[in-house]
Chain A
Amino acid sequence: MKRLADLPLDLQRLSAPLPVWHGVVDRGGWNALAHHAHTHGRLVALWGKHRSVAGAPSACLAVGTPQGLVWAELPLEDPQVTYPDLTSHFASAARMQRAMADLSGLHADTAPDPRPWLDHGLWGDGAPPLVPGAAAPAVPPGTLPADYPFVRVEGDGVHEIAVGPVHAGIIEPGHFRFSVVGEKVLRLEQHLGYKHKGIERRFTELPPLQAHRLAGRVSGDSTVAYAWAYCMALESACDAQVPDRAEWLRALMLERERVANHLGDLGALGNDAALTFGLAQFSRLREDWQRLSGEVFGHRFMMDAVVPGGVAGDLSMPERDALRHQCDAVERDVMRLRQIFDEHAGLQDRFMTTGRVTPELAAQLGLTGMAGRASGQAHDLRCDHGWQPYRRLRTTIATQTAGDVAARVAVRFDEMFESLRLIRELCSGMPAGAVACPIAMPAGEASGIGWVEGWRGEVLVALHLGDNGRVARCHCHDPSWQNWPVLEHAVIGNIVPDFPLINKSFNLSYAGHDL
């Protein structure tokens, strides 16, 4: 296998808990890295960056390889200059490139799909919003969102079902356009971006030491993952050494977040297959779980508990015992519930072979995270690059190959049991010491990256600090970017009433994607 060192790239290893390399590349280097990642890795994120009002922009690419993350920057002489298209190597690059055009005004040299993605035509005709000094919006009041040209499916008996942006349940907004024959789905096309509220520009208006609060609100169900990733990026840029105890407490919270989400999803999946008993049981366990998080960490979702330099509060011995005992209690109940789920013929009939993504298709489309592991994509940062304390705890990866709803349910159960084990180990082996260190802001410009395995998949935060001590650019990437397009494939050939079940089995983020 070709190694990173064999590529014609000048890469520097950043100070970070995980192996992260950064380098400025030319077009040849950009293409070589993309080609390398196509065969030996995966696309993680793609974004545009303007260093300053006057400075030239650059296109940024982050790829995951067996040796770690590579963050490459391709300087562009001016915004009219294009960067090499990546969709021939990575299917998931298509929407990221469209978003980069909408937000930063940078375009790929060939654009297979020129439609706007996040921009619904309501931001005014000024410069793209992430260009420094971009003008205020100038759309007159009463302007309606632009029409989106969906792909039409034609044929005998084909009709369309339009859903959203306001959905029937208590769900985030987005639009789904189904083309169906009878009850069978021929094609699903998504239109997202409804929740875009300008988070990345908002970052540049906040002091770096307070912006972790904004990161923790990119996607409420992943607040620990995002806050940790932001803090990791800031600490990397500032070259801060976070105390061991703080890292253990962060891991403890990340695992508690994983368990909370898996508990919620398992109940909801039972409910979507008409087993309301499952919802009642799992939502009761989830409530117990959140209440203890509230008591111990001061917030039911642990928002603002991860702070730059460490964590906001320490853990007392009685609190540690309470966390451990809760793991035992939840494990006992979940084992019983898993048996009930496994033996319930009606439930399994709905779960099995529904919304199937084969490992081949998953690899081709770049399915990632928890859903990827249910389709044989064995990546988990906690195992692949085991940063502390995960390296010491030797996390076991959970994978399935069936790629259907049942597989995504099974991965959730397996990951939950592993997280419960990790939480107990984190509680018992926690090192003594401080829970935070002071952060000294660098004198000049600095960059850092945070890369964390959230419950949904790998979350990435790339931070660039300007020489004025402000955030010049902060890009947040959610694994939902990779997985939303795969959901369009997963529903093909399924019946319309199974869509809610399939959608829930992925449980992708709208907020984390739209930003």
Chain B
Amino acid sequence: MWQILRQITRTGIATEAPPRPDDAVLAEARNIQDELLAILGQALTIREVDAGSCNGCELEIHALNNPYYNIEGLGIKFVASPRHADMLLVTGPVSRHMAEALRRTYEATPEPRLVVAVGDCGCDGGIFGESYASCGRVANVIPVDVTVPGCPPPPIAILRGILQAVKRQPAVARGQRR
């Protein structure tokens, strides 16, 4: 235990300031964490769905949980079931074998729900495109609110995409969604 405590104090606090969201999107925002709490009343819960990625995007989403990005410190948490989730974070070109599973996961997520497509493949099919085995972009299978390009996008870009989607949440709550 002594060694563990020593290593913890030696490491110090590694967490960095959260990213400044795109000005156009969050010009009025002062404090991301306060706003998140104000919008959601509590916190944001995310269900991650890998619909056919190369696993690169998953590694970067994992990185959001490391001490540098400390996503839980922002009130954002990854949950085990879509029934507990406010948002789906979807990666990959959607393989034909995963399309039905993705649809069912979407249906199982309570409304108002948000969908963020992560990575070039999720945005437009990426290098895999559409084929006998790939449905291409996520929007070909379920409605998408925000896309985050990159192969894979770095953690900070994914975080920015999540915050962008959250900014749309009040409109969703007022029933103005398409």
Which residues of A are interface residues toward B (Cβ below 8 A)?
A: 120, 122-124, 129, 134, 136-137, 144-145, 165-166, 168-173, 193-199, 201-202, 213-214, 217-221, 223, 264, 277, 279-281, 283-284, 286-287, 290, 294, 300-301, 303, 333, 336-337, 339-340, 343, 509-511, 514
Contacts and interface: CB of A to CB of B under 8 A. Distances in A.
B80 A219 contact: no
Contacts of A172: 50, 53, 55, 58
Interface in B88-131: 92-93, 95-98, 100-102, 105, 126-129, 131
23 contacts: A137-B132, A145-B97, A166-B102, A170-B50, A172-B53, A173-B52, A195-B50, A195-B53, A196-B95, A202-B129, A202-B131, A218-B54, A220-B54, A220-B56, A220-B58, A223-B56, A286-B66, A287-B63, A287-B66, A294-B154, A301-B152, A336-B7, A514-B95
A122 B97 contact: yes
Q: Which of A120, A144, A217, A219 has the most CB of B within 10 A?
A: A217
Given A170-B48, A197-B128, 10 more contacts: A122-B96, A137-B132, A144-B100, A172-B58, A194-B98, A198-B132, A199-B128, A217-B56, A277-B7, A340-B3
Contact of A136 (B8, B95, B101, B132): B132
B38 interface: no
A286 B126 CA distance: 26
Given A284-B66, A300-B154, A303-B151, A170 B128 contact: no
Contact of B101 (A129, A165, A514): A165
A214 B8 contact: no
B61 interface: yes
Contacts of A173: 50-52, 98, 101
Q: Which of B93, B101, B102 counts the most chain A CB atoms within 10 A?
A: B101
Nearest to B102: A166
A220 B55 contact: yes
A123 B7 CA distance: 53
A299 to B, nearest CB: 9
B132 A123 contact: yes
A201 B128 CA distance: 10
Contacts of B98: 165, 173, 194-195
Contacts of A214: 127-128
Nearest 8 pairs of A and B residues by beta carbon: A220-B56, A198-B133, A283-B66, A168-B80, A220-B54, A198-B131, A220-B55, A197-B134
Contacts of A283: 62-63, 65-67
A337 to B, nearest CB: 7
B52 A277 contact: no
Interface of B: 3-4, 7-8, 11, 14, 48-63, 65-68, 78, 80-82, 92-93, 95-98, 100-102, 105, 126-129, 131-134, 151-152, 154
A201 B131 contact: yes
B68 A284 contact: yes
Contacts of A194: 52, 95, 97-98, 101
A336 B59 contact: no
B7 A197 contact: no
Nearest to B68: A287
Nearest to A193: B97
Nearest to A344: B4
Given A218-B54, A510-B55, A277 B101 contact: no
A166 B101 contact: yes
B85 to A, nearest CB: 11
Given A197-B128, A283-B65, A145 B100 contact: yes
Most chain B CB within a 10 A radius of its CB, from A134, A173, A202, A219: A173
Most buried by B among A144, A221, A294, A339: A221
A514 B134 CA distance: 12
Nearest to A300: B154
A220 B81 CA distance: 25
Given A123-B132, A303-B151, A213 B97 contact: no
A339 B3 contact: yes
Nearest to B105: A166
A509 B68 CA distance: 26
A129 B63 CA distance: 36
Nearest to A195: B52
Contacts of B133: 123, 129, 196-198, 201
A282 to B, nearest CB: 9
A280 B97 CA distance: 35
Contacts of A120: 96-97
